[in-house]
Amino acid sequence: MSTAASTINYDRRGLLGTLGRDGLLQIILIANTIIMLMPIIIMVFSAFKTTPQIFQSPFGIPDFGNVVNFVKIWNETNFLRYLLNSFIVTGASMALILTLGTMAAYAIARYEFWGAGFILMFFLAGLTLPLKLAIIPLFMLMRDLGILNNQLSLIFVYTAMGLPTTVFILTGFIRTLPNELEDAARMDGASEARIMWSIMLPLVRPAMVIAGIQNVVPIWNDFFFPLVFIQRDNLKTLPQGLTTFMGEYTTDWGVLFSGLTLSAAPIIIIYIVLSKQFISGMTSGAVK
Amino acid sequence: MTGRGLWITALLVPPLAFVALFIVYPIVAAFAYAFFDWNGLLRGEFSGLANFHTVLFVEPYASWTRNAFTHNVIVFFALMVLQNGLGFILAYALWRELPGARFHRVAVFLPVVLSTIIVGYLFKLFLHPLFGVVNISLRGMGLGFIAQPWLGQDSTALWALIVANAWHMVGFPTLVFLAGMQRIPTEMLDAVRMETQSEWVKITKIVWPLVAPSATIVFTLLFVGAFNWFELPYIMAGLDGSPYGSTDVLGLYFYRTAFGNVSSGQQDFGLGSALAVLIFVFIAAIASVITVRLRAREIQI
């Protein structure tokens, strides 16, 4: 009897405890989500307000038909140019990273040859090195190559920086692919290049998406290398152009907020659509 | 060379060339640069350890170095609590799969995809002493006495930057910890539930030890990130770490020394390289100690 009573009592406390605990955790999550989203919501709202409106009612819902600030950005600033530059630099870097990364990873993972382990180590050594600290020699190198004030300097650095993670992810993935297809094709007399291109590469696509996302966000967002390599306004990427733009409109807060909103918009939209791939891609280096 | 050998070489040489030219060479060169005198962009005489001696022991460089280094240490420990600590709690909450967990997960990671430049400017505008939303809200709630020039006084400026950084990046440790928790076998959790009702025991004795691999990575990355900190202070506090150097960190100091700043145009590649080498060696040494130490407490499930 007494044991039964105490068990019931124990269960009831357990249930209440669970409810209380889950309630607390839910409150933590909701509070955190509000803190995470509030700055972004205020930013977007303020983009549609005049400066006095922002000062008087920072939380008020604006008239979303009021696009004066955006028109100003369109007409008076180099914003579209910066956006286009960011697309060019990011696109070219990603194309190079994925092409070169797949080549290296394929060679290391599919063929046995002397020094393969060493070559993989060579790539992985670049994984953790903070390249920012080598900015002085990089600056001199770009000067000697004659590509300071040229987007090639950015594309080359980003490609080199992206290769270690890409080779790491792709090598691991390509190693897991079965040999049968490859062997069958080889029996039929297909060349090595043909086997790689038409048989193996289509299978590698999922890993390329992960490697791509892991690299595309830091490259799109990078500010440090353009700061050092690019001076000419027409060549600036979006984060760098933003600093020019923020300096010019210091008192017009409506325009400032709409500039921030416009720069954040592309990546936020893509993130919302592909959040799952973004999360797994960006944490893939840290999650084994 | 056989056809196969040529094919492998053709695949490997271009990617290797990129890494060799744009990562390995600059890092090796950075070490070499530090041992020379520099005249603008021209390399001068070999000067041994003179550059290192200057940045470590000769005023005013010595106190600048100490000042910046101290701030990096503060940033690291503060973010350890605000970013990784909070990340662990949030991960634990998300792990319960309560209603709305999917939405919360997307929300907590959203700031991580934004550029640091956007985050920096956003918080700079929010923290404006007169028109910023933070002080406007405080005054609106009758708490006007708390309203401060957050970025304008040395007692709060560094902390404002730390909070902005925590807001920006907290999603990263959260989702890395969450992935670690999701890998804990359910049988193990059921077994614990039979033994004890205490949530505290469950967290400290089971969850925490089993997410050790995630902790190793998150701690190491935070360490490297904290000692490389540049963009956020550059945008929010400026290249001089204003006000009065109270937000100066090694990243800003290194950049300023190497490339000069607006107020004084002088640049010194020799001193800059010496700083880079010191920071580099420090990061590499401590990061490996952290990794080895933390690896040792990881348990294989």
Domain ranges for chain A: 2-67, 78-248
Name the nearest CA neighbour of A138 among A151, A125, A147, A128.
Answer: A147
Q: Which pLDDT band, with edges at 50, 70 and 90, does A114 fall under? A: confident
User: Could you tell me if residue B287 is inside a domain?
Assistant: yes
User: Could you tell me if residue B20 is inside a domain?
Assistant: no
Show Cβ contacts of residue B148 under 8 Å, excluding neighbours closer than 6 positions: B129, B135, B156
Name the nearest CA neighbour of B270 among B24, B22, B52, B26.
Answer: B52
Q: Distance of CA B121 to CAs A257, B76, B135, B278, Å?
A: 9, 22, 16, 30
> How many distinct structural domains can be found in chain B?
1
Interface test with B, best of A36, A114, A138, A213 (most B CBs within 10 A): A36
The minimal CB distance from B23 to the residues A22, A42, A129 is found for A129
Q: What are phi and psi of A147, to 5 degrees?
A: -120, 25
Q: Which pLDDT band, with edges at 50, 70 and 90, does B54 fall under? A: confident
Place of tokens 């509070």: A31
B51 CB-side CA count, 13 A: 27
Q: How many helices (H) and strands (E) does chain A have?
A: 14, 0
Residue A12 has pLDDT above 60, yes or no: no
pLDDT for res A18: 67
pLDDT in tens, B138-172: 888 888 888 888 888 888 999 999 999 999 999 99
pLDDT for res B69: 94
User: Could you tell me if residue B108 is inside a domain?
Assistant: yes
In angstroms, the CA B54 to CA B52 distance is 5
Task: Spell out a b/e string for A5-19, using b for 16 or more CB atoms within 10 Å of the CB, else e.
Answer: eeeeeeeeeeeeeee
pLDDT for res A144: 92
User: Which CATH number covers residue B192?
Assistant: 1.10.3720.10
Q: Is A4 on the interface with B (CB under 8 A)?
A: no
ipTM of the complex as predicted: 0.90
User: Could you tell me if residue B29 is inside a domain?
Assistant: no
3-state secondary structure B233-279: HHHHHCCCCCCCCCCCCHHHHHHHHHHCCCCCCCCCHHHHHHHHHHH
Residue B118 has pLDDT above 90, yes or no: yes
Q: Which residue segment(s) compose the domain that B176 sits in?
A: 39-296
User: Could you tell me if residue B30 is inside a domain?
Assistant: no
- Say yes or no for a CB contact (<8 Å) between A25 and B7: no
Residue A7 has pLDDT above 60, yes or no: no
pLDDT in tens, B10-39: 999 999 999 999 999 999 999 999 898 887
Residue B112 has pLDDT above 50, yes or no: yes
Q: Which pLDDT band, with edges at 50, 70 and 90, does A180 fall under? A: confident
Q: Which residue has the higher pLDDT, B243 or B39?
A: B243
- Say yes or no for a CB contact (<8 Å) between B167 and A160: no
Q: Which pLDDT band, with edges at 50, 70 and 90, does B275 fall under? A: very high
- Say yes or no for a CB contact (<8 Å) between B33 and A137: yes
In angstroms, the CA A172 to CA A227 distance is 35
User: Could you tell me if residue B68 is inside a domain?
Assistant: yes
In angstroms, the CA B6 to CA A200 distance is 19
pLDDT for res A43: 94
Q: Is A32 on the interface with B (CB under 8 A)?
A: yes
Q: Is A200 on the interface with B (CB under 8 A)?
A: no
CATH, domain A78-248, list 2.40.50.100, 1.20.1370.20, 3.40.50.720, 1.10.3720.10: 1.10.3720.10
Least confident window among A2-6, A30-34, A77-81, A151-155: A2-6
Name the packing angle between helices A135-145 and A151-175 (round to 10°). Answer: 110
The whole-number average pLDDT for the span A254-268 is 92
